[in-house]
Amino acid sequence: MGFMGDWPLRWWLVLCGFVLSAVMVAVGSVAHHVGSGADPELAGPARIALSALSRVSVLAQRPSRDDYRREMFGTAWSDGVGVTGGGNGCDTRNDVLARDLADTRRAAVASCPRAVVAGEFRSPYTGEFLVFRRDRRAGAVQIDHIVPLAYAWDMGAFAWPPTTRLNFANDPANLVAVDAASNLTKSDQEPGRWMPSNKGFHCRYAIQFVTMVVAYRLLLDRPSQEALRKALQRC
């Protein structure tokens, strides 16, 4: 079993596959070598992501903007979006909890008729086993944006229309349930400055990061491009 369970991995591969398949058609055959990793299911997506990475527009460093505000990406965890899971009657946070947690119990809450009120999982960022209880330290499990919203803002999202920013903030391909400590430590840092302490998750993390950068046509800073390249080459 993977760090988030077999079903979430299959779901994630299908989700990212749509973008990665389009990338493969656009860039043609892959010439880069990708090492054989522990999970053969990730080898194909890693090769495609590595090829796509070499074609992403890169800046020497992340711009130092001071106009980012969380509200620029709309209401947090809105169900009124045009990405997978939008309009299903449950807010985005509950959608991700339902996807990533195992042995869940459900109950109706204001934002979701079948919300996860209890469950368990291993944080992919650390490998730590966590038990989630909505009525007890619910904040110990948080939903992280793989590509941080502030980073996306700096790298192009400042020019997007509000609808695109709302979709980006709620796109399940950019979201993962993690332990609170890792989420707080990461903050809005990009791969050039932060990667998960669990090296076994670096491959998936890099694939997801590149997938979102390509799908939303974001820029990358040079240190992050190098960090992602190294992670993908180890897949």
* End-to-end CA separation in angstroms for the chain: 17
DSSP at 136: B
Q: What pLDDT, on the 0 to 100 scale, is given for residue 138?
A: 84
What is the 3-state secondary structure of 14-73? HHHHHHHHHHHHHHCCCCCCCCCCCCHHHHHHHHHHHHHHCCCCEECCCCCCCCCCHHHH
Alpha-carbon distance of 146 to 139, in angstroms, equals: 18
What pLDDT digit, counting tens, does each position of 140-172 carry? 999 999 999 999 999 999 999 999 999 999 999
Per run of 10 residues, the mean pLDDT along the chain (length 235 residues) is 44 52 38 44 92 96 96 97 96 97 95 96 96 90 97 98 98 96 97 97 96 97 98 95
Matching residue, tokens 């790298």: 155
CA atoms of 201 and 35, how far apart (whole Å): 15
